């Protein structure tokens, strides 16, 4: 079973604590946040050996749950990690975690590690995966960024080569993104643009990037190092439904600097206008018409596309 609803393992103290702090799903049990722990021998911790998904719930609707769980399964399959739960069981566990925490609007982090093993690299020493689900609030960017747009900067760290650690995988090995984020913060920016090893635009540290040029919405193809983002695909679908031309296209920084509009997409970020890149004003320097239209369409989509639950 995916969930032990009795949670009989908890001590009296644990139950009391659970009333005042978030509960975390951990290997079929629900434990207070302060007691949710994994072994120091877990290969997810030792080597970043595992996969994850970030998911959103909006007013008791888990947005694009099917798509997120499919991507989790694909990432796990590629690294030869056998998920211990079916997609349906994971979905049930996600919903139950949201319910137990009385959360209508939340960020959901689903993590599956290789599990506890020895100090060697060989995953065969890990006998059973570790699964945990965290549900909590998240505010990635201030509201002013959505109204007025944000500035981003290109950083020296390049995106991982697809032939090395494929960016299509959402694994626990995120050091590439973290190094780029550090470089952005050192320059007082909240987000960074990452190029691939050929100098083409890939994505940002946690978001996909889009531009609008001559009325056409454009984003880098995934083979250049961009994650196949769930929100990225939702925006491309929404563009099609709203008769806005869209395409995957190889982009350079020159293309970005001379775009009419630019914006970022991501599960946590949603859709964020970009008004300046590397000191160059993008278009009018304000969120563009097409960007605003897609932001509105996306907000509407979050009210109806997903799994509904009740508290």
Q: What is the 3-state secondary structure (H, E, C) of the chain?
A: CCCCCCCCCCCHHHHHHHCCCCEEEECCEEEEHHHCCCCCCEHHHHHCCEEEEEEEECCCEEECHHHHHHHHHHHHHHCCCCCCCCHHHHHHHHHHHHHHCCCCCEEEEEEEECCECCCCCCHHHCCCCEEEEEEECCCCCCHHHHHHCEEEEECCCCCCCCCCCCCCCCECCCHHHHHHHHHHHHCCCCCEEEECCCCCEEEECCCEEEEEECCEEEECCHHHCCCCCHHHHHHHHHHHHCCCCEEECCCCHHHHHCCCEEEEEECCCEEEEEEEECCEECCCCCCCHHHHHHHHHHHHHCCCCEEECCC
Q: Any idea which residues carry the catalytic annotation?
A: 170
């Amino acid at each position: 079973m995916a969930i032990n609803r009795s949670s009989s393992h908890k001590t009296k103290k644990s139950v009391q604590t659970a009333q005042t702090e978030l509960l975390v799903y951990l290997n079929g049990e629900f434990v207070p946040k302060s007691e949710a722990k994994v072994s120091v021998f877990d290969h997810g911790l030792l080597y970043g050996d595992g996969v994850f998904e970030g998911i959103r719930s909006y007013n008791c609707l888990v947005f694009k749950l099917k798509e997120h769980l499919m991507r989790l399964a694909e990432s796990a399959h590629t690294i030869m990690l056998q998920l211990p739960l079916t997609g349906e069981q994971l979905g049930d566990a996600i919903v139950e975690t949201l319910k137990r925490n009385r959360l209508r609007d939340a960020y959901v982090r689903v993590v599956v590690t290789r599990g506890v093993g020895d100090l060697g690299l060989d995953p065969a020493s890990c006998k059973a995966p570790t699964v945990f689900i965290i549900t909590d609030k998240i505010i990635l960017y201030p509201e002013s960024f959505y109204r007025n747009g944000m500035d981003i900067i290109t950083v020296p760290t390049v995106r991982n080569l697809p032939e090395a650690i494929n960016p299509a995988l959402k694994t626990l090995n995120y050091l590439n993104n973290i190094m780029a984020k550090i470089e952005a913060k050192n320059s007082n920016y909240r987000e960074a643009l990452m190029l691939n090893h050929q100098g083409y635009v890939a994505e940002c540290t946690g978001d996909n990037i889009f531009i609008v040029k001559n009325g056409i919405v454009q984003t880098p193809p995934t083979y250049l190092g961009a994650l196949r983002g769930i929100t990225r695909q939702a925006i491309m679908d929404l563009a099609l439904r709203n008769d806005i031309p869209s395409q995957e296209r190889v982009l350079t920084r020159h293309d970005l600097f001379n775009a009419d509009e630019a914006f970022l997409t991501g599960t946590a970020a949603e859709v964020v206008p970009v008004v300046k890149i590397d000191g160059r004003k993008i278009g009018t320097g304000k969120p563009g018409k097409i960007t605003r239209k897609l932001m509105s369409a996306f907000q509407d989509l979050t009210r109806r596309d997903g799994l509904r639950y009740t508290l």
